[in-house]
Amino acid sequence: MLWIKNGRLVDPKSQTDQFYDICIERERIAGIFPPGSADQKQGEGDEVIEAAGLIVAPGLIDVHVHFREPGFTYKEDVATGAASAAAGGYTTVICMANTKPIVDNEETLTYLRERAKDMPVRVLNTAAITKGFQGKELTDMIGLKALGAVGFTDDGVPIADTSVVMEAMKMAKALNVPLSFHEEDPALIGSFGVNQGPVSVAVGVAGAPAVAEDVLVARDCALALNTGAEIDIQHISSGTSVAIVRAMKALGKNIHAEATPQHFSLTEEAVLQKGTLARVNPPLRTEADRLAIIEGLKDDTIDYIATDHAPHSKEEKEKEMKSAPSGMIGLETALALGITNLVKPGHLTLSHMLEKLTVNPAQLYHLDAGYVAVGGLADLVIFDENESWTVGENFKSRASNSPFIGDTLTGKVKYTICDGKVVYRDGE
C-alpha cells in the first residue's frame, strides 16, 4: 500500500477541499480517511508520502500534445513526451495526429497504441479527420475508433472545405467521439505564428490576424449546432473568438473550447523579447485578447486548459522568424503558469482551474479519470502551490523550446502518481 499523509485534497468533481490521508492499493484509491488515520492503519512495508503543506489533486489531463513519433523523434518521442508529462503532473495526455506518417491509417495508430503500453502515464491518440490532412476525404473513422482513437483532429492544419467539416461532424456524432479543430483560415493568413499588427511589422513577417481564427470558430460552432457533434475549439487566442464561443454555447451544450497557458500568460510582445520561441499557431495576441481569454476561463466559456505541447529542436528554432516552426513545449510549466497567472491574481480558484485540467477533459473524451474517489484510479498530482522556482533548460522533454525559460513561477509539482505508481518525484 501507498499512503499519502496530511495532504489537502482538492477534487473539483466532488467539490472537495479538505485534509485527508489517502490510501492506494495497486492501481486504485482504497481509502480516504481523516488526517492521523495513516499512522494507525499503515502496515509493515507500506510506502508513505508526507504531503503536509501540499495539494493532492487528480492527475492532470491534457487534451492537446504533440509527441512527434513516428517521424520527428529528434524533437520528442512517446517516451520523452510521457516523461515530460509526468514531470508536469499529468497522468493522461491526448496526442495529436500530425506525425509522419500522419495518424490517418491503421498501421500508424496500431504502432502508437502498442508504444503507449509501456509508458509511465496514459498516452492516448487521436486520428486525423481527413486523409493526409488534405481536407478532402475523411479517414476511416469507424475503423480508427475501433483501434483506439479517442477523437479526431487535423490539428496544425485548418480544414478549409466546410462540407468536409459537416460530413466529419455527422460521422463523429454517430460514433460519439469528439472532434477538435485548429481554427485559422489560411485564406486570411499572410504568414503563420505571429499576430498581424505592429509586432509582425517589426519582425518583418506578414502575420496571422485574429479574424482568420474568428471566421472558422463561427463556422464550426454553427456546424456543431446543426449536427450535434461534440466539438473542441483548440487553443483559442482571439477575444472575438471567445465571444463567439460564449454566444454559441448558449445555443448548444456540445461546443467546448481550450486555452493554452501561453495564450493566458503572454502577449505578442513576447515575440519581440523571445524571438522564435514565442512563434506559435495561433499566435500570441494583444493584452485585450489575453484578458478576454481569462474572462472566458472564469465564466466557463473555455472548458479546458491544454498545453499544445509542441517540441521543436534548437536548430529549428534558431532559424529566422519566417522559417522557424511554430510551437512551444508546455507540459512542465502548465500547472505553474495556471497558479501564477490565474490563481494567484484571483481570477480563478485553485479548484476551478483544476477542473479545466482534470474532470472537464475527462468528460469530453469519456475517460474514467480526472477525479479522486474510493475505488477510482490512483492517478494523482501532489504539488506545492506556494513554492517559487525559476524555469531552467533542463526539461524532461527532449526539446527546450519554451519562452518561459528564466521566468520565476509559483507552484511546483512534487510527485505524480499514475496507476498507483510514483512516476515522478521532484528532484529526481
Answer for which of 5, 8, 66, 219 binds ligand DOR (CB under 6 A) is 66
Q: Does 326 bind ligand DOR (CB under 6 A)?
A: yes
Residue 326 touches which of ligand DOR, Zn ion, none (Cβ within 5-8 Å per kind): ligand DOR
Q: Min. distance of Cβ 66 from Zn ion in angstroms? A: 9
Please give the Cα distance from 195 to 381 (Å, whole number). 35
DSSP letter for each residue of 157-189: S----HHHHHHHHHHHHHHT--EEE----GGG-
Q: How far is the CB of 399 from ligand DOR (least distance, A)?
A: 10
Q: Which residues contact 209 (CB under 8 A, 6 or more apart)?
A: 188, 189, 190, 195, 196, 197
Residue 105 Cα to chain centre, angstroms: 24
Q: Which of 255, 310, 329, 342 binds ligand DOR (CB under 6 A)?
A: 310
Nearest-approach distance from CB 335 to Zn ion, in angstroms: 21
Contacts of 47 (CB under 8 A, 6+ apart): 1, 2, 3
Q: What angle do CA 85, 179, 289 make, to 5 degrees?
A: 70
Residues numbered 92-131 forming contacts with ligand DOR, rule: CB under 6 A: 98
Cα 230 from chain centroid? 17
Binding Zn ion by CB under 5 A: which of 155, 213, 268, 289?
Answer: 155
Choice among 11, 77, 232, 308 that is catalytic: 308
| Count of residues that bind ligand DOR according to CB under 6 A | 12
Reply yes or no on whether 289 is catalytic: no
Rule CB under 6 A: say whether 153 interacts with ligand DOR. no
Whether the Cβ atoms of residue 284 and residue 274 lie closer than 8 Å to each other: no
- 220 scored as a contact of ligand DOR (CB under 6 A): no
Q: Which of 70, 261, 327, 330 binds ligand DOR (CB under 6 A)?
A: 327
Residue among 24 and 95 whose Cβ is closer to ligand DOR: 95
The residue among 345, 344, 364 whose CA lies nearest residue 302 is: 364
Choose, by CB under 6 A, the member of 130, 262, 281, 301 that binds ligand DOR: 281
- 70 close to 101: Cβ distance less than 8 angstroms: yes
Q: Which residue has the cell 510527485?
A: 415
Task: Report residue 312: phi and psi, to 5°.
Answer: -140, 160
Does 88 participate in binding ligand DOR (rule CB under 6 A)?
no
Stretch binding Zn ion (CB under 5 A), from 167-175, 181-189, 198-206, 328-336:
181-189
Q: Can residue 182 be called a binding residue for Zn ion (CB under 5 A)?
A: yes
Q: For residues 331 and 309, give the distance between their C-alpha atoms in angstroms, rounded to a whole number.
A: 6
State how far the Cα of 351 lies from the Cα of 101, in Å rounded to an integer: 39
Least separation in angstroms between residue 388's CB and ligand DOR is 28
Strand 55-58 with 60-65, pairing: unpaired
Q: Which lies closer to ligand DOR via its Cβ, residue 10 or residue 96?
A: 96
Amino acid letter, 331 = L
Q: How far is the CB of 411 from ligand DOR (least distance, A)?
A: 24
Measured between alpha carbons, how far is 264 from 7 in angstroms, rounded to an integer? 29
Coil, strand, or helix at residue 9?
A: strand
Residue 64 or 356: the one with the smaller Cβ distance to Zn ion is 64
Does residue 120 contact residue 418 with C-beta atoms inside 8 Å?
A: yes
Chain positions 175 to 214 lying near ligand DOR, rule: CB under 6 A, are 182
| Options 127-135, 167-175, 319-327, 406-414: segment touching ligand DOR (CB under 6 A) | 319-327
CB of 314 to ligand DOR, least distance (A): 15
Residue 66: CB minimum distance to ligand DOR, A:
4
Distance, in Å, from the CA atom of 42 to the CA atom of 129, rounded to the nearest integer, reads 50
Report how many helices (DSSP H) and strands (DSSP E) the chain contains, helices first: 15, 16
Q: Closest separation between CB of residue 282 and Zn ion, Å?
A: 7
Query: Considering only residues 280, 293, 329, 409, which one is a binding residue for ligand DOR as defined by CB under 6 A?
Result: 280
Taking CB under 6 A as the rule, does residue 80 contact ligand DOR?
A: no
State which residue, 280 or 377, has the beta carbon closest to ligand DOR.
280
- Residue selected from 155, 214, 220, 384 as contacting ligand DOR according to rule CB under 6 A: 155
Cell (9 digits) for 249: 454555447
Residue 327 interface partner, choices ligand DOR, Zn ion, none, CB cut-off 5-8 Å depending on type: ligand DOR
147-169 exposure pattern, b = at least 16 Cβ within 10 A, e = fewer: bebbbbbbbbbbbeeeebbbbbb
Report if residue 66 touches Zn ion, rule: CB under 5 A: no
The three grid cell numbers given for residue 232, joined into one nine-digit string: 473542441
Our CB check for ligand DOR shows the closer of 23 and 96 to be: 96
Residues 6+ apart with CB under 8 A from 14: 371, 372, 373
Residues designated catalytic = 308
Binding footprint of Zn ion on the chain (CB under 5 A):
155, 182
Binding footprint of ligand DOR on the chain (CB under 6 A):
66, 98, 155-156, 182, 280-281, 308, 310, 325-327
